[in-house]
Chain A
Amino acid sequence: RKEVEQDPGPFNVPEGATVAFNCTYSNSASQSFFWYRQDCRKEPKLLMSVYSSGNEDGRFTAQLNRASQYISLLIRDSKLSDSATYLCVVNKAWDSNYQLIWGAGTKLIIKP
Chain B
Amino acid sequence: ETGVTQTPRHLVMGMTNKKSLKCEQHLGHNAMYWYKQSAKKPLELMFVYNFKEQTENNSVPSRFSPECPNSSHLFLHLHTLQPEDSALYLCASSHGTSESYEQYFGPGTRLTVT
Contacts and interface: CB of A to CB of B under 8 A. Distances in A.
- Which range contains the number of B residues in contact with the other chain? 20 to 34
B103 interface: yes
B8 to A, nearest CB: 15
Interface stretch (A11-19, A61-69, A76-84, A92-100): A92-100
Interface residues of A, number: 22
B40 A91 contact: no
Chain A interface, DSSP helix/strand/loop, else mixed: loop
B43 interface: yes
B34 interface: no
A104 B41 contact: yes
Interface of B: 31, 40-45, 48, 50, 55-56, 90, 97-100, 102-103, 105-108
Given A45-B105, A98-B31, A98-B48, 13 more contacts: A31-B99, A43-B105, A43-B106, A43-B108, A44-B90, A49-B100, A91-B99, A97-B97, A98-B56, A99-B99, A100-B99, A102-B42, A103-B42
